Amino acid sequence: MEHPTLPSRSRGPFASVKITDVAALAGVAPMTVSRVLNTPDRVSQLTAAKVRAAIEQLGYVPNLIAGGLSSRRSRMIAAVVPTIASPMFHEPVQVFTDAMGAAGYHVMLALSGYEPEAEDAQIRAVLARRPDGLLLTGAHRTPAMRLLLSDAQIPVVEIWDVSDSPTDILVGFDHGEVGAAVADFFAAAGHTHYAALLASDPRAMARSQGFAQRVAQLGHVMVAEHRLPAPAAIRDGRLGLRAIAQRLAGRTALFGSSDNVAYGAILEAGVLGIAVPNQLSVCGFGDFDISRDAEPGFTTVRVDGAEIGRSAAEQLLLRMNGATKPNRVLVPHRILPRAST
Amino acid sequence: MEHPTLPSRSRGPFASVKITDVAALAGVAPMTVSRVLNTPDRVSQLTAAKVRAAIEQLGYVPNLIAGGLSSRRSRMIAAVVPTIASPMFHEPVQVFTDAMGAAGYHVMLALSGYEPEAEDAQIRAVLARRPDGLLLTGAHRTPAMRLLLSDAQIPVVEIWDVSDSPTDILVGFDHGEVGAAVADFFAAAGHTHYAALLASDPRAMARSQGFAQRVAQLGHVMVAEHRLPAPAAIRDGRLGLRAIAQRLAGRTALFGSSDNVAYGAILEAGVLGIAVPNQLSVCGFGDFDISRDAEPGFTTVRVDGAEIGRSAAEQLLLRMNGATKPNRVLVPHRILPRAST
DNA sequence: TTGTAGGCGTTATCAG
DNA sequence: CTGATAACGCCTACAA
């Protein structure tokens, strides 16, 4: 079918088939075409068939921008994440996008980097598109942003973190708790001296802080705490270990703020002749592919990013479909002991 | 300022400040508010100041969905990529998004996976939002899709591949050529026996095919060609090498379809007691972090993903600002020899 | 420099 | 089950 009557062919630059064209061809009112598309149950089989034929013949693509203005529903969700360069974020984003897609929503992704002002600017910008919901990273908002979000009157999920006063829905876990758990894990293995290599993003810092606090509570020793730029890659882990190598005690337990950092440290330890795990025990964070697939694999903390994405989508959908009370989902984390400890 | 006159507070669920509210408060016509936002040059300083104060006081966020319907410009670009799990795609996407953002466009990302039907469905879906431009991955479209795209009357950039008949703008390189270059590189080092581990996505297969063809042209021997699921991770490289290990000749040159695959092969070679580079030379593709930061680093093919993203944005912007002839940008690739060859 | 009129393409609402 | 009418919130086009 070569779209014989395609209006777009003859209308110049503003060419586009619209609902009235379809309606005319099918011999029905535009509203009926709309119903075929949005509420097929309320249209007779026969009419629907005629309309669908017309749609097909004309190559009609509904204009969601017009529909959105009219219905006040954009069928779009905005997601604001620092970056997609890390599995930490692209996993939840990918799963969230798929899940929302299955429910008929498009996800618009905005990348905010690691500067708070950039994040606020991105949120402001996407709000102009009138999303039906919002996915944000982290749970700490400025008062001005909270006001803006509450004015927007849409459900908001915050992921990857917990807070006592979330904006709305929360799907995450306590990063400080993770750090403490790692310290306990090391202590249980007989460690007394510790080090940390942490990226300077808010959540990595929370993990590191929880780690250091627990070490202090145990009466043990932090021999080094080294900060890396965010987002931190394998190279940063290598440089980091090199930077703190001299301060390492006879036997040290190292917590890396991500698996990339931890793996870099392990590689550099090899170069420096520091034995892993005997002289240096290493625990990463994230359960990225590399922690499992490296030879040998190394110990890390697993948090199911896919589960966060799925749960975020589920909660948002529930709320958009009428659930009134915002929920709070705590995602579990667990340490996966492997050969590096 | 507690937004004293905020209409949203009193209008129920459809609350939202609109341009008329701002206009009323500022004592001007709605059109003037629009001008302050879109063409500030055409408004007097004084008026602009009053309007801006009103905007600030009311917390007005322009409704781009209404503006888009009226102006027929959505100020949005849709990008359809297979996945963001690989640096292959998230690099260009991140850079493209930033570049378009600087030019006032939002990018809506759609993830298509590796099935062609899914890609077509995603393109169809995003077209309903009337993007001002489109970024697609790969350069091969079905006739039906070509028709749909030409009806959409918007600029389209296709990245990561070349084609003799691109839809519109093209920013990419010839994957077959890359494979041939890698074969030549190996041959120049005295190799005569080769193997390939390739993910089954179209571009990886093109690279592999170019590789095998050149090997044949040279009169040399392909001892193994093993296919992996797409997208392929480190684990797949490990499994892949294990699968072909018995077929390896005394000295074999291995081409991995990505750095993840190559690194997996290198790790598994270590486990199997196959010496790299003496018994097995390895070349990856992508210049991911791991190829540089592994110890030692390994040989790979570098294609500047960031450059692809930047160039795609530039070309699209040129075209949206009136450039009439579609461009074709060939991005260079080069082999970075490191310790694995 | 500013304002007025009208319409962008769709859907909510109410009537038949 | 189907149709007519009136918005949705903003911007183009034209006028003052």
Convert the pLDDT of each residue in B149-194 to its tens digit. 999 999 999 999 998 889 999 999 999 999 999 999 999 999 999 9
Q: What is the DSSP letter of B337?
A: -
Integer distance in angstroms from CA A115 to C1' C8? 38
- Chain A partners within 8 Å of B290 (Cβ): 234, 290
* Co-location of B295 and B184 in the same domain: yes
Of B99, B141, B101, nearest to B123 by C-alpha is: B141
Name the protein residue, with chain letter, whose CA is nearest the C1' of C6: B70
The shortest C-alpha distance from A107 to chain B (Å) reads 7
Integer distance in angstroms from CA A326 to C1' C14? 35
Contact assessment for residue A220 and residue A190, using Cβ atoms and an 8 Å cutoff: no
Q: What is the DSSP letter of B51?
A: H
Interval B189-212: pLDDT, tens: 999 999 999 999 999 999 999 999
Whether the pLDDT of residue A9 is over 60: the answer is no
Integer distance in angstroms from CA B76 to C1' D8? 20
User: Quick check: B65 and A69 CB within 8 A?
Assistant: yes
User: Quick check: A61 and B128 CB within 8 A?
Assistant: yes
Distance CA A137, CA A130 (A): 19
Which residues is B255 bridged to in the sheet? B196, B283
| Cβ-based burial of B284 (10 A; exposed 0-12, middle 13-18, buried ≥19) | buried
Q: Containing domain of residue B6, as a range?
A: 1-60
More confident residue, A247 or A323: A247
φ, ψ for residue B223 (rounded to 5)?
Answer: -85, -20
User: Quick check: B94 and A83 CB within 8 A?
Assistant: yes
Interval B231-249: pLDDT, tens: 899 999 999 999 999 999 7
Coil/strand/helix, residue A235: helix
The answer for B 52-111 residues in CB contact with A (under 8 A) is: 59, 61-66, 68-69, 72, 74, 76, 83-85, 87, 90-91, 93-94, 97-98, 106-111
The shortest C-alpha distance from B21 to chain A (Å) reads 15
* Co-location of A163 and A203 in the same domain: no
- Chain A partners within 8 Å of B62 (Cβ): 128
Q: What is the DSSP letter of B331?
A: P
Contact assessment for residue A25 and residue A11, using Cβ atoms and an 8 Å cutoff: no
For residue A45, give the nucleotide whose C1' atom is nearest its CA.
Answer: D1
Kindly provide the b/e burial profile for residues A144-157, where b requires at least 16 CB atoms within 10 angstroms of the residue's own CB.
ebebbbebbebbbb
Structure tokens belonging to residue A224: 């080094």
Q: What is the pLDDT of residue B230?
A: 87
Counting Cα atoms < 13 Å in the Cβ hemisphere of A73 gives: 9
Contact assessment for residue B59 and residue B3, using Cβ atoms and an 8 Å cutoff: yes
**Alpha-carbon distances of A51 from A6, A45, A55, A58, rounded to whole Å:** 16, 10, 6, 11
Look up tokens 């160039």; give the residue.
Answer: B311
Question: What domain count does chain B have?
Answer: 3
* Co-location of B183 and B289 in the same domain: yes
φ, ψ for residue B179 (rounded to 5)?
Answer: -60, -45
| Cβ-based burial of A304 (10 A; exposed 0-12, middle 13-18, buried ≥19) | middle
Whether the pLDDT of residue A269 is over 60: the answer is yes
Largest CA distance in chain B: 85
Q: Please compute the mean of the pLDDT values over residues A171-193 and round it to a whole number.
A: 97
* Co-location of A103 and A215 in the same domain: no
The last residue of one of the domains, among B35, B60, B85, is: B60
Interval A19-55: pLDDT, tens: 999 999 999 999 999 999 999 999 999 999 999 999 9
Q: What is the pLDDT of residue A307?
A: 96
Helix (H) or strand (E) holding A29: none
User: Quick check: A111 and B94 CB within 8 A?
Assistant: yes
* Co-location of B186 and B270 in the same domain: yes
Interval A126-165: pLDDT, tens: 999 999 999 999 999 999 999 999 999 999 999 999 988 8
Whether the pLDDT of residue B318 is over 80: the answer is yes
**Taking all residues of chain A, what is their mean pLDDT, rounded to a whole number?**
92
Distance CA A67, CA A71 (A): 6
The set of residues with CB closer than 7 Å to nucleic strand D is: A 27-32, 35, 41-44, 46-48, 66, 69-70, 72; B 14, 16, 18-20, 30-31, 34, 37-38, 62-63, 66-67, 69-71, 73
The set of residues with CB closer than 7 Å to nucleic strand C is: A 14, 16, 18-20, 30-31, 33-34, 37-38, 62-63, 66-67, 69-71, 73; B 28-32, 35, 42-44, 46-48, 69-70, 72
Q: Sheet of B221-228: strands edge to edge?
A: B221-228, B193-199, B252-256, B280-283
Q: What is the pLDDT of residue B115?
A: 85
* Co-location of B127 and B217 in the same domain: no
Domain contains A207: yes
Domain contains B66: no
- Chain B partners within 8 Å of A258 (Cβ): none
Name the protein residue, with chain letter, whose CA is nearest the C1' of C2: B32
For residue B67, give the nucleotide whose C1' atom is nearest its CA.
Answer: D10
Q: Which nucleotides of C are covered by protein (CB under 7 A)?
A: 1-13
High-pLDDT (> 70) share of chain B, %: 96
Q: Please compute the mean of the pLDDT values over residues B292-314 and round it to a whole number.
A: 96
Domain contains B67: no
Name the protein residue, with chain letter, whose CA is nearest the C1' of D4: A29
* Co-location of B295 and B212 in the same domain: yes
* Co-location of A196 and A257 in the same domain: yes
* Co-location of A240 and A321 in the same domain: no
Whether the pLDDT of residue B80 is over 50: the answer is yes
Pairing of strands A169-172, A156-159: parallel
Distance CA B297, CA A90 (A): 26
* Co-location of A87 and A150 in the same domain: yes
Contacts of residue B133, defined as CB under 8 A and 6 or more positions apart, other chains included, come to B77, B78, B105, B154, B155, B156, B157, B316, B319, B320
- Chain B partners within 8 Å of A74 (Cβ): 65
The shortest C-alpha distance from A208 to chain B (Å) reads 24
- Chain B partners within 8 Å of A264 (Cβ): 293
Q: A32: how many CB neighbours lie within 10 A of its CB?
A: 21
CATH number (domain holding residue A322): 3.40.50.2300
| Cβ-based burial of A321 (10 A; exposed 0-12, middle 13-18, buried ≥19) | exposed
* Co-location of A189 and A258 in the same domain: yes
Q: Please compute the mean of the pLDDT values over residues A296-302 and round it to a whole number.
A: 97
Interval A82-100: pLDDT, tens: 999 888 999 999 999 999 9
Interval A315-328: pLDDT, tens: 999 999 877 788 89
Which residues is A314 bridged to in the sheet? none
Q: How confident is the model at residue B15 (pLDDT cuts 50, 70, 90)?
A: low
Of B102, B6, B106, nearest to A130 by C-alpha is: B106
Domain contains A216: yes
N-to-C CA span, chain B: 66
Residues comprising chain A, all counted: 341
Distance CA A10, CA B7 (A): 45
Q: What is the pLDDT of residue A164?
A: 87
Integer distance in angstroms from CA A42 to C1' D6? 22
Domain contains B338: no
B32 touches chain A (CB under 8 A): no
For residue B44, give the nucleotide whose C1' atom is nearest its CA.
Answer: C1
Largest CA distance in chain A: 85
Q: Please compute the mean of the pLDDT values over residues B278-306 and round it to a whole number.
A: 96
Interval A324-340: pLDDT, tens: 788 899 999 999 999 99
Q: A56: how many CB neighbours lie within 10 A of its CB?
A: 12
Closest CA in chain A for residue B68: A65
Q: Please compute the mean of the pLDDT values over residues A52-69 and round it to a whole number.
A: 96
Whether the pLDDT of residue A13 is over 90: the answer is no
Domain contains B270: yes
**Alpha-carbon distances of A341 from A239, A243, A281, A282, A325, rounded to whole Å:** 21, 21, 5, 6, 43
Distance CA A214, CA B40 (A): 56
The answer for A 270-299 residues in CB contact with B (under 8 A) is: 270-271, 289-290, 292-295
Q: How confident is the model at residue B250 (pLDDT cuts 50, 70, 90)?
A: confident
Domain contains A69: no
Kindly provide the b/e burial profile for residues A65-93, where b requires at least 16 CB atoms within 10 angstroms of the residue's own CB.
bbbbbeeeebbbbbbbbbbbbbbbbbbbb
Integer distance in angstroms from CA A70 to C1' D15? 30
* Co-location of B195 and B249 in the same domain: yes
For residue B11, give the nucleotide whose C1' atom is nearest its CA.
Answer: D8
The shortest C-alpha distance from A270 to chain B (Å) reads 8
Whether the pLDDT of residue B340 is over 80: the answer is yes
Contact assessment for residue B100 and residue B107, using Cβ atoms and an 8 Å cutoff: yes
How big is the A-B interface in CB pairs under 8 Å?
154
Whether the pLDDT of residue A314 is over 70: the answer is yes
- Selecting from B107, B130, B295 the residue whose C-beta is nearest the C-beta of A65 gives B130
Interval A197-212: pLDDT, tens: 999 999 999 999 999 9
For residue A46, give the nucleotide whose C1' atom is nearest its CA.
Answer: D1
Q: How confident is the model at residue A225 (pLDDT cuts 50, 70, 90)?
A: very high
Contacts of residue B217, defined as CB under 8 A and 6 or more positions apart, other chains included, come to none
Domain contains A247: yes
Distance CA B309, CA B135 (A): 10
Structure tokens belonging to residue A32: 């009926």
Integer distance in angstroms from CA B122 to C1' D5? 35
Contact assessment for residue B290 and residue B260, using Cβ atoms and an 8 Å cutoff: yes
Q: What is the pLDDT of residue B12?
A: 34
CATH number (domain holding residue B10): 1.10.260.40
Distance CA A51, CA A17 (A): 14
Cis, peptide link before residue B231, omega less than 30° from 0: yes
Distance CA B148, CA A288 (A): 40
Q: What is the pLDDT of residue B14?
A: 34
**Stated pTM of the model:** 0.91
